[in-house]
Structure 1
Amino acid sequence: MNMRSYLIILLVIMVSMIFAGCLKGEKAHSDLVGTVNVENLDSATTVTYTFKNQSGKRVTVIGGASYKLHRDNKLVDEGIVPVKDYIDLDPGEDYTDKKTFPNLQPGSYSIRVEWNKTVVSSNFARN
């Protein structure tokens, strides 16, 4: 085999690994579907997020939701919203929680919330 053949084989293997990882990831978080709502009140911004079990089986989620808040495309805050050690969600059941950010500076924001490998996000502005 020549060098070109080795490179083609290597490329095919890499692409296959990428697609296998994507498909595996899709299945891992397909049990939950999420929504996020942002509300600006006075000087505070409240982010309310809901994750619903859309599967036909009970889903156990361990740990809290993580979030990343960006202003003008720069990370300004990140963390975890703690919950109890685990939460069991029956089919059709949802979990709602919120995070409040006091006194955000004016600008364009985006919030990204991840829980049990399901990600929801929203863009909003503070004036």
Structure 2
Amino acid sequence: MKKFIKRIRVAMANMLIWLAVKLTPEAQKRLVQQLKHYKAQQIGTAWGITKKDINRYKEEFNEKNHEAARIGTIELILEEQKKAIFETASKLIEYRTYNKHGQTIVESRLNVYVPTKADTEEA
């Protein structure tokens, strides 16, 4: 059902573009090229774990096993990275407050572009 609705929307958009060009030929110059695939913008961080980091974890948490300290260090870094990514995303959120039908509405939006299946299959 979702694919059907998407096809109808695309067909209607193409028909409206065709109609606009037929009614005003100079409008064709002003039309932006239609893109079928969007690339996702990524927010990410990377952190290298050294022996120094593992030894610091051993001292802080009194861990004697090296492998357990390595896993614990990875978990700590993952938590820090999640916080950093969410803080970055929260800076990009647009907030809006307005009244509609007697209700006060608080709206939050984050614009994201998700790649289509064809894009992910090619990569």
Give me the TM-score of the superposition, normalised by structure 1.
Answer: 0.27
> When you count strand as a share of all residues, which structure comes out higher?
1
> When you count helix as a share of all residues, which structure comes out higher?
2
Work out which of the two has the higher radius of gyration on C-alpha atoms and give 1 or 2.
2
Give me the TM-score of the superposition, normalised by structure 2.
Answer: 0.28
